Amino acid sequence: METTAIKQNSSVGIVEKQYYTFAEPPGEMTLESGARLGPITLAYETYGEFNARRDNCILLAHAFSGDSHAAGHYSSDSKEDKPGWWDFMVGPGRGIDTDKYFVVCVNILGSCMGSTGPGSINTETGNPYGLTFPMMTIGDMVDAQKALIDFLEIPKLHAVIGGSVGGMQVLEWCVRYPQMVRAAIPIATTMRHSALAIAFNEIARQSIIADPNWNKGNYYGGKCPDMGLAVARMIGHVTYLSDEAMRRKFGRRLQDKASFSFGFDADFQVESYLRYQGSKFVDRFDANSVLYITKASDYFDVVEQLRVPFNKDSPETLKYLVVSYSSDWLYPTYQAKELVQTLKRSGQDVSFCEIEADCGHDAFLIADDRLTHLIRGFLDGIS
């Protein structure tokens, strides 16, 4: 298969989003809930080229509100076109070296960034699914990705890499298709949500559901639940940062004012920042997708599956590199250590690194040579 990227300096250059449709009726995909879904379309991008054996593929799994655009640009005007979310990591000579690897990034099932989700048209009715879209799981997302990997005729993945909800997908790949994965790098993630993480997700969902424009999910073609979605994003964004990052970035500084308004304007810079993040999110994401993806992440739990002893007689072992961040309070380091202990007790080959950083959960999305060197060195050591 030809790459969809054109090299330009150290970037993968100009890239193109591609689409794969499968599970056409009557061959719908059966989800964990027992519901059947089809047809299913997945948006994806590729970078680099296959080697002769087609065994140099790395699958990138994006976070909750991410998409398939992991690297490069869609146009030559880079000032107007934002690079992919991991552009600093993926490219010739970078941590994930596209001179060595064929890289695939897939937009998850249930999203609104090109793949089939609640905002997609139900071919049976001709209307958007809305809440008739079946509830899905992280496992269902991975099963859909597996269909694409089979379509691309990839016999085995050199590695699966992802952070946050992407890290959940990494672990699900290792549970469901261990024979398909040579190595795994779960970053800033967990084996299952804590009560705290579930609580924040539920608050976000209720902010959407309480918006009168939500209309039980049937808002397509009318007024959207923009306020509820914006508040949901504000809630989520706070969990992605850290106390130190917010203190350094905002403190108690006022927003273009010499004194308080003594009203409910955005007096503080942090208030203005969160309102901006909320309004920006409304322009690019679907409220129903937030409901489905957060619920899928709450359902995620692979503790028991990862406790199963590894087959030491297997001709190939699956290697893990688990990465956490010291200031991540959404998925704290203690949860990463629990993952490491679980994997070691089951006989897996595991490396672990906690990176000291004060940026919070989103640190893996910020350029950092330490993470780049970690990933490059780990990938180079996989035979």
User: What DSSP string runs through 76-93?
Assistant: S-TTTSPPPTTTTTEETT
161 SS3 class:
strand
pLDDT in tens, 16-29: 999 999 999 999 99
Give span(s): CATH 1.10.1740.110, the chain: 197-295
What CATH class does 6-193+300-380 carry?
alpha beta
Confidence of residue 80 (pLDDT cuts 50, 70, 90): low
Q: Mark whether 62 is an active-site residue.
A: no
Across 290-298, average pLDDT: 98
Q: How many Å apart are CA 340 and CA 334, to the nearest integer?
A: 10
Phi (first) and psi of residue 10, to 5 degrees: -95, 0
Kindly list the distances between the CA atom of residue 12 and the CA atoms of 28, 77, 104, 328, in Å, as whole numbers in the listed order.
35, 14, 13, 30
Q: Mark whether 328 is an active-site residue.
A: yes
Confirm or reject CATH 1.10.1740.110 for domain 197-295, answering yes or no: yes
> Which of 164, 242, 289, 327 is flagged as catalytic?
164
> Which of 62, 69, 193, 361 is flagged as catalytic?
361
Quickly tell me which residue has 């596209």 as its tokens. Answer: 98
The percentage of the chain sitting over the pLDDT mark of 90, rounded to a whole number, equals: 90
Across 345-369, average pLDDT: 96
DSSP code at position 155: S
Confidence of residue 103 (pLDDT cuts 50, 70, 90): very high
Determine whether 292 is exposed, middle or buried from the number of CB atoms within 10 Å of its CB (0-12, 13-18, 19+): buried
Confidence of residue 280 (pLDDT cuts 50, 70, 90): very high
Kindly list the distances between the CA atom of residue 82 and the CA atoms of 16, 87, 93, 190, in Å, as whole numbers in the listed order.
14, 10, 21, 29
Across 81-96, average pLDDT: 95
Q: How many Å apart are CA 185 and CA 47, to the nearest integer?
A: 19
Residue in 106, 189, 110, 104 with CA at minimum distance from that of residue 364: 189
Confidence of residue 82 (pLDDT cuts 50, 70, 90): confident
pLDDT in tens, 163-221: 999 999 999 999 999 999 999 999 999 999 999 999 999 999 999 999 999 999 999 99
Prediction pTM value: 0.95
pLDDT in tens, 364-382: 999 999 999 999 999 999 9
Q: How many Å apart are CA 296 and CA 292, to the nearest integer?
A: 6
Give span(s): CATH 3.40.50.1820, the chain: 6-193+300-380
> Which of 211, 226, 328, 368 is flagged as catalytic?
328
The torsion of the CA quartet 307, 311, 314, 316, rounded to 10 degrees, works out to 20
- Does pLDDT of 95 surpass 60? yes
Kindly list the distances between the CA atom of residue 93 and the CA atoms of 162, 275, 302, 349, in Å, as whole numbers in the listed order.
19, 38, 34, 26
Q: Mark whether 164 is an active-site residue.
A: yes
Q: How many Å apart are CA 108 and CA 316, to the nearest integer?
A: 28
pLDDT at position 8 is 43
